[in-house]
Each structure stands twice: as C-alpha cells, then as structure tokens.
Homo-oligomer: A and B are copies of this chain.
Amino acid sequence: MVGAASNAGGEMLRMMTMHPETELAYVADGFSAGSKLVDIHPAVQTFYDPETVLLSDSDEDLDKILDGSDVLFLAVDPGKVFPIAEKALAKGVKVIDFGADIRFRDSKTWEEWYKVECKYPQMCKDAVYSIPEIWRDQTKGKSLISNPGCYPTASALALFPFVEKGLIEKDSIIVNAVSGSTGAGRRPDFLKMHMVHDGNFRAYGVAGGHRHTPEIEQSVQMIGGEYSKIVFQPHLAPMPRGILVTIYANLKNPITDEEIYQMYLDKYKDEPFVIPHKAGDWPNTKWTVGTNFCHLMGAYEKRTQRLVMASAIDNIGKGAAGQAIQNMNIIFGLPETTGILVPPMFP
C-alpha cells in the first residue's frame, strides 16, 4: 500500500489482520516514509513485524513494492495516482485507488472540482468505479478499480432503488451528511484537538463545494441515466468513526413506508453488508463501527411528499478500507465477505 500512513491506510492494515488470504508485502507513504509502521498505527502493533518501516513513493521503492505484490492499494495526493498506476498495471499488478483521480469517467469533472489538469483521461475511462452492491458485475477480472468515497457510498446505497426506477424529481436531492473525526484526516490542528472537538458539532466546507458532490451526482447519473444536481453538506460530530447521511428527495408520486422497505429488500435482502430497516428504525452509526456494513432506512413524509432516507456506514470501513477489500475479493475471485464479515464495536 502507498499512502499507508493515512486513516484509510491504517484501517486497511487493521482489517487485513483478519483476512485469511492476504499477506502484507510492503507499506509506503510519501509523507511518513522512514517511520515505523507500529508507531504510525498502534492498532496493529502486535500484528506486523515491529521493525517494519514505511517505504517512500520513490521510483526505486515503487519497483520493490510492485515486484513483490499482487495488488497495490493507493491513498495518495491528487494527481499522483496516474504514473504509479501505469507502472503497476504494466507489471501486471492490480490497482485499487482510494482517491478521486480516477473516480470520474469524464476527467473534465475531476479537473473542474480538483483544479488540476488530467493528463491521463483514458485511464479514467478504463478505471471501474464500483460500490459492489450496485456495480459488482462490471469489476470482475478488471485491474484498475476506483474505490468510492465515503459519503458517496452511503448516499448511493440509499438512493439506488429510487433513482433506478426514476421516482425522484430532478434536482431535488439534498444530502445532509455527518462524519466522525477520522473523516477529517490525521494532520493535527486546533479544530481537531480533543479538547475542542469533544462536545462540538459543526458543518464544514464551502456550501455546495465539497468534492464529493460531483461523485454523488455521477453515481445518480450512472444509476438512473439522468443528470441531476445535488445539494451536499457535510458536518463533523464528536465521535471518531461513523457517517450518517440523511437524504431528502421529492418524489414524483406518493409511496408508502412499506413499499420503500420492500424496494430496499428487493435490492439488498441477499447482500451481507447492506441492511435495510423498516420506517422508524433509524440506523445508528455505532452499528457500523469497524465494519463494512451499511444500515439503511427510508420513510415517506406524507405532508410534504418527500422521501427521507438515512444511511449509516463507518467512514473508513465501508467508506474506505472495507469496501476496498470487498473489491479486492471480487477481482481476485474470493468470496466477497472474506475477512470483512466482522461485528461492530458496540457498545
């Protein structure tokens, strides 16, 4: 893994300790190269060699990593994915990327929202963006996987059946999202300090400006065929892990709570990781901590003819590392739940 010092990287390494079919080859990180793995991620201190040191993202280290690996996980800065992935693919190493570089089929969207120029537009077209419960069929046998973002995963799973059937009015979707503090990354600053964030709740970002917005819009378009603008507003809650997205959408026609639940069941009743609940049984983020689960609920608000959905995941579980392992299991032909069907940390 390159970018192993990130929270997503740490969760990959943590989850991998429970995966029976994998072995850690190398860890690398552009920023924390040279540090000991166990100092960066105390969670795995007894699971890997205490002398393991993070390699760098230099060409030399990359060659070493690629020559000894079957799959490369990437969590690197915007723009850095392309040359690394190119080299990996040339060596027959499969790539699963955590970042946004190859998330957009149309690289113009990436250029616009991330303020960078894309020199590898073909790679974006070749990459497969996949939440397995929606697009797993497209990933089998593929070598370059774009692992979806945390908020987009929670959102798309909730919207899937309704968007697919075209029940939602264009441009009416509002995604109010809440994340735990691991979602804000590992770089320490005042707002992330325990004494400040404990007991605090706040929104962040420019209104409408979070970079997960076009990713959710793309998912909706990929599912439903029609482009629809989405309002997406993230918040931070005083807990380390967990995302809850509460989604509001205008429906073209009335629906009942029972029909909503049934539509979720139709999609997900055989899915081990996506758990629909009846209207009123709101998902708790704590049901997902440390897991690859997504708990879902939808209800119809008669007075205002709106569909209200709630979707809970662990931002670095199903929202990053868990889904990456799920995708890895798929492209290597392993049972999809291998190593990631573990219960949440509750209470």
* Chain A residues within 8 Å of B, Cβ to Cβ: 7, 10, 14, 17-18, 42-47, 171, 174, 176, 178, 180-182, 184, 186, 188-190, 192-204, 206-208, 229-231, 233, 235, 237-242, 244, 246, 248, 272, 275, 279-280, 282-287, 289-290, 293, 299-304, 306, 308, 310, 312, 342-347
Closest 10 CB pairs of A and B: A208-B301, A207-B299, A188-B188, A194-B197, A200-B286, A43-B346, A195-B347, A176-B176, A181-B195, A345-B345
Min CB distance, A347 to chain B, in Å? Answer: 4
Report the separation of the CA atoms of residues A288 and B18 in the bound assembly, to the nearest whole angstrom.
16
> Which among B176, B178, B201, B272 is the interface contact of A46 at CB below 8 angstroms?
B272
Cβ contact of A308, chosen from B47, B231, B346, cutoff 8 A: B231
Residues of B contacting A195 with CB < 8 Å? Answer: 7, 180-182, 184, 186, 192, 240-241, 347
Taking the closest CB of chain B, its distance from the CB of A346, in whole angstroms, is 4
Q: Nearest Cβ distance between residue A66 and chain B, in whole angstroms?
A: 27
Contacts of A208 in B (CB 8 A): 299, 301-304, 306, 308
User: Counting chain B CB atoms within 10 Å of each CB, which of A201, A237, A290 scores highest?
Assistant: A201
Distance of A180 Cα from B194 Cα, bound (Å): 10
Alpha-carbon distance between A215 and B241 when the two chains are bound, in angstroms: 34
Given A238-B194, A308-B207, A343-B18, are A285 and B201 also a contact pair (CB < 8 Å)?
yes
Q: Are A199 and B286 in contact (CB under 8 A)?
A: yes
A202 and B43 contact, Cβ closer than 8 Å, known pairs A188-B188, A246-B176 = no
* Contact indicator A198/B176 (Cβ below 8 Å): no
- C-alpha gap A199/B238 in the complex (Å): 7
Which chain B residue lies CB-closest to A7?
A: B347
Residue of B nearest to A231 (CB): B304
Q: Write out the residue numbers on chain B whose beta carbons fall within 8 Å of the beta carbon of A248.
A: 174, 176, 231, 233, 248
How near does chain B come to A107, taking the closest CB pair, in angstroms? 20
Q: A197-B194, A207-B308, A343-B47 are in contact. Are A290 and B287 (CB under 8 A)?
A: no
Partner of A237, one of B188, B237, B241: B237
